[in-house]
Structure 1
């Protein structure tokens, strides 16, 4: 299992949270007066807490399979919310999670790309929505970008090709739209490419250390020499692919979004 580092992940928290904010802006009003919300793949809980700002009376549960992430989330955010709702966190594997009660909103932020065949799970999640409820998610769509192509190439040369996701880890927006519309939902699907301007030395490497590179770092954790050799080669390749400019390093990042509302 991949080992996660909440502190490393949160080093770019502002940039990482922006797509979630954009996703929530397209979520319609929820049917319940005290909405019941599930956040699948909540990580350290920083964006889960944003749900309580949008729906102050909601009962919100963040689910994740990383003990490190859940510990951080519980310490920082668990408990009653100012609007009279609640924010809790629980261990769950998105691959096997199923709604145990009707949910007004099931949301997932940058998680489903880790779940092969995740489209096959949509039917169960939609079935678990209350009438008029919403399923909303965003996933990175940058697996063909230099950051990820170079990562796969180097991992392959190091005998670690099987540890990483490939270019087909997510679908195109129109394919998500079709899959969700086939389940009887009203669907809004789109994509956006953000151009993050990252400060500091080797900021793209610093970014992927918190997310996409985690499987490689986990696989090489017991071989420090191999780990440092991989990082040295990857760092050099990223510097060429993403040269620093006078205002920082521009890092284009495509994201794919879908908001599916169940019929009332």
Structure 2
């Protein structure tokens, strides 16, 4: 199990945000976290990354409590890409991706051959080798998001957490990135927050639904992305159907 979440409660500024959440995530594949704004999705992801201390309960990663791990050790296990990450002006794609090697490098020493090879592999995986010397702020939205994914890959963790990785991307770039994420899910455990439920249905191996900081459901997409659990999650009705080719479509019933 990459994650075992046990009776997890999180408070932010004294306000309860997560309430006794309890679930397991199996190894490998893609897990999507869904829920309305304010349901606790980002808080859940940050708790899984070890960035928020539990008020009660625990987060175990591969059987170990992440609260007891040193930040450097945790960063060798779990990589997290926050929403709307920004690079300093003028930073090149290669320089950005190289920052993913920080958990593995000795302080104040330059990158070694293994680090440079990891950066090269990450750039190749996202198809940005030809843009490695370009400033990140000169890239298109889709290219920029791929550069950040490459940083995460260069970190060489078995578990990757992504906060709304498709946010602000147009449809062609969303399609491109979804294909990349599917490839990542073949060799790693990927947990990501998604708003598009049809993409979640077509991309995820399992889906976790939250409402007001409480777990509503967790399971395969066809079980969670169904009318009853979706109404319990969002408070509105949904139509869940399939196209002639069998691909699922999930839409609010009012549309």
Report the TM-score, using the length of structure 2 for normalisation.
Answer: 0.29
